[in-house]
Amino acid sequence: MSLLYIFVAYALLLLAVRLLERHMIFFPDYPGRLEGDWHPRTLAPEDIWLTASDGTKLHAWWIPNARAKFTFLAFHGNASNIANRAPTYEFLRDTSANVLALEYRGYGRSKGKPDEAGLYLDAEAAYQYLTGTKHLDPKSIISFGQSLGTAVATHLAAHHTIGGLVLEAPFPSASRVARKIYWFLPGLSLLVRGQFNTLSNLREVTAPVFIVHCTSDPVLPFQFGQEVYASALPPKHFLRVEGYCHEESSLIAPAQYRSALQNFLASLAGRSETQQTVTPSD
């Protein structure tokens, strides 16, 4: 009888976890939803307001670079907001690129509540802004994601034309993360509704892929980055950053990261020029 009680109690625990799944996946209020410097002088960002297809109002930063050949469409990681990631956007801008830093629904100044489908709609709205309002060539757009944002960046790349995909600290899927973090709750991964299935979406990505992962990542293990890299189609590149970091690769190894990223962008420019010179045979 005691085994039955244990089974029922565990089943109720898993049910509770599923009901609270959104709160276990998204952390827009940690450490504070509006924390950070919203007017960083080093960036001088332009506040942009977008509307997703379901009517949700979204906030973003437009950070231009006069010499830009590419534009990073940046999807940040879990927790906090774009204001707390200004150094990352400064790093991207200084590769001689524009940056559109999107704030997910329910995060920062954006309205709504976060969920997987909603984040994909947010990414869609940002992409349409770059191609429709800014009139950018889709091949000049680099879908850039960190941690949670790598799933969003990959989903966008699987459904739209882009120039390249850059993933910093990626993960294979939500179920793999659940098994890693909540190892003490057997069966939880089977109940995860949010899929964030990067590996599945990668099969549809034909643009070049650049992956960077720290060897001692305290949140998403280095092995996850290797798994994602193994699943990506060529051409693909992997940057191994020695050290303890999660979304801070550009802070702990700026020279290494900058050199590798600029080489990747140069390869995209060369790829584009080659494609333009190829004409159909008669």
> Is the Cβ–Cβ distance between 109 and 103 less than 8 Å?
yes
Checking DSSP bridges between strand 97-102 and strand 70-75, what pairing results, if any? parallel
Report how far residue 157's alpha carbon sits from residue 147's, in angstroms, rounded to the nearest whole number: 16
Q: Which of 43, 10, 4, 21 is nearest to 189 (CA)?
A: 21
- Residue 247 burial class via C-beta count within 10 angstroms: exposed 0-12, middle 13-18, buried 19 and up: buried
Asked whether the predicted pLDDT for residue 181 surpasses 80, the reply is no
Mean pLDDT of 191-213: 88
Does the domain at 2-277 match CATH 3.40.50.970? Answer given as no
The DSSP H or E segment spanning 128 is helix 116-128
- Per mean pLDDT, which range of 15-29, 47-61, 72-86 is the poorest? 15-29
The structural domains of the chain, with segments of one domain joined by +, span 2-277
3-class secondary-structure state, position 223: helix
Could you list the beta-strand ranges (E) of 161-202.
164-168
Asked whether the predicted pLDDT for residue 182 surpasses 70, the reply is no
Max distance between CA atoms of the chain, in angstroms, equals 79
pLDDT score at 270: 76
Q: Which residues contact 123 (CB under 8 A, 6 or more apart)?
A: 73, 75, 102, 152, 153, 155, 156
pLDDT score at 195: 85
Share of the chain above pLDDT 90, in %: 76
Asked whether the predicted pLDDT for residue 142 surpasses 80, the reply is yes
Asked whether the predicted pLDDT for residue 118 surpasses 80, the reply is yes
pLDDT score at 71: 98
Residue with the larger pLDDT of the pair 79 and 169: 169
pLDDT score at 12: 44
Residue with the larger pLDDT of the pair 22 and 224: 224
How does the average pLDDT of the chain come out, rounded?
Answer: 88
Q: What is the DSSP letter of 26?
A: -
pLDDT band of residue 140 (cuts 50, 70, 90) is: very high
Asked whether the predicted pLDDT for residue 272 surpasses 70, the reply is no
- Per mean pLDDT, which range of 10-24, 147-161, 237-251 is the poorest? 10-24
User: Helices 148-159 & 116-128, crossing angle to 10 degrees?
Assistant: 60
Asked whether the predicted pLDDT for residue 204 surpasses 80, the reply is yes
pLDDT score at 199: 95
